[in-house]
Amino acid sequence: MELSNSMKNLLNRGFNFSILPLKLDITQVLVDFKRFERSMIWQEYFYGTESDSDSRSKIFKTKKTNLPRNYKSPEGLKTYLNSIKSEITDHRNRNDVQCNLPKDEIEALKELINGQKNKEIVIKPCDKGAGMIILDYPAYMKACYEHLMSQKVMDTGESKRYYVEVENIELERTKSKIKHLVQEGLENDILTKEEYEAMLADDKDAAKFYCIFKVHKEHEPMTAPPPRPIVSGSGSATENIAEFVEYHINDISKEHKSYIQDTPDFLRYIEKINQGPRLEDDQILVTWDVVGLYNNILHEDGLESLQEGLDSRQNPEIPTDYLVKLMEIILRNNLFNFHDQLYRQEIGCAMGTKPAPSYANIFMARKIDQKIIELAQKYGTNGINPISLFKRFLDDIFSIYKGTTKNLHKLFEEMNNIHASIKFTMNHSSPKNESESDKCECE
């Protein structure tokens, strides 16, 4: 599909550009007002009586329509709400605003929508927020199927597929497993009635699979870049048990020395240490990146790490074994649809399920981080570890290493033998005036 200038102008506005509707949906406005009205009445009803210690934190938000029984709202509140409703329903108060897209871009938008509906093109966001990509539909499907057919070489030397096709009955079996486990939670006072009802999956479907693309990675022109697979758990059978697990493991996923919350957190940390001594000539800035972290955490290792992390809690609100059982269902019953076929993920954790980042963080902290620092010890001098800084955001590690680039590469080779499933890539700076005998062979 050839893109016109109008299409290019439209796409250059980006996914975050909000298009003004051609006309006001007054029905939706009144629905939103009704929610606001209910919220105001309940807030007035409970004013001055709230207590944070009275009940357990609610994980699942439910939309309710009930109002306080036998309660008469104050006249002042009634007047306020009626005034707002009158204002928003009076057509004389509405500004006559035109759509913020020119006519040629509105037509371009319709063409692009039709192109996707007719399976001519696919428009997706790029990985790491690097804009958007437009692919011919066959190229997109080819990239997805190649990933779905990919295999992993196990410790035994045999190859095993990451994903396998399964029959639709597997979805019903998964729902039954979830029902049995949440019933157990209710009967043993682990779950509240509200949590039990929210976590049942009887009316849920499988997850959805799609790919976004790493345009920042090397690839042949006019071909699909390397894909990043996403299994969207929204509306899936495991969505709410995944949200429950994430709520209870999120805090322990941050309890390690290498933890970085986000980019601003990292920049604040760097600013803080920059107030100390300057880098020495033989100190090297290093970044290590785990290759496909989520997809390569073996279930046994990940669940063992999770159990260890949960056992370290001082006052557990939910038993460790129960959370591990829920996580095991999420991992071993990750079912998703793609092109009218049901699949199950056999290896790793799906990017798209809510506890995935916390689960991966706990695995790295328990199984990998400390081993890297211990391995580095042999390359230090006078008993001093050459790694003076070690910070990690999920699968991205930033370090300061004191020594030679040749020894750094030796450490890198050993790191790739820490765990059969976890492999790294590396980039580093070079020390000033490093001798030829100490230099590595990379660029």
92-96, 288-292, 409-413: which has the minimum mean pLDDT? 92-96
In CATH terms, the fold of domain 271-289+367-438 is Alpha-Beta Plaits (3.30.70)
What's the predicted TM-score (pTM) here? 0.85
pLDDT of 52 > 90? The answer is no
* Burial of 79 per CB tally in 10 Å (0-12, 13-18, 19+): exposed
Helical residues (DSSP H) of 47-168, grouped into ranges? 75-89, 103-117, 137-148
Q: Which amino acid is at 285?
A: L
pLDDT digits (tens, 9 = 90+) for 96-150: 778 888 999 999 999 999 999 999 999 998 887 778 899 999 999 999 999 999 9
pLDDT of 310 > 60? The answer is yes
pLDDT of 166 > 80? The answer is yes
pLDDT digits (tens, 9 = 90+) for 256-303: 999 999 999 999 988 887 776 678 888 999 999 999 999 999 999 999
- CA dist 202 and 108 (Å) reads 41
pLDDT digits (tens, 9 = 90+) for 3-25: 889 999 998 888 888 888 878 88
- DSSP assignment of 248-304 equals HHTTGGG-STTB--SHHHHHHHHHHHTTSPPPPTTEEEEEEEETTTGGG--HHHHHH
304 touches 324 (CB < 8 A): no
Residues of the chain with CATH 3.30.70: 271-289+367-438
pLDDT of 226 > 60? The answer is yes
Handedness of CA 218, 220, 222, 226 (dihedral sign): negative
- CA dist 205 and 235 (Å) reads 7
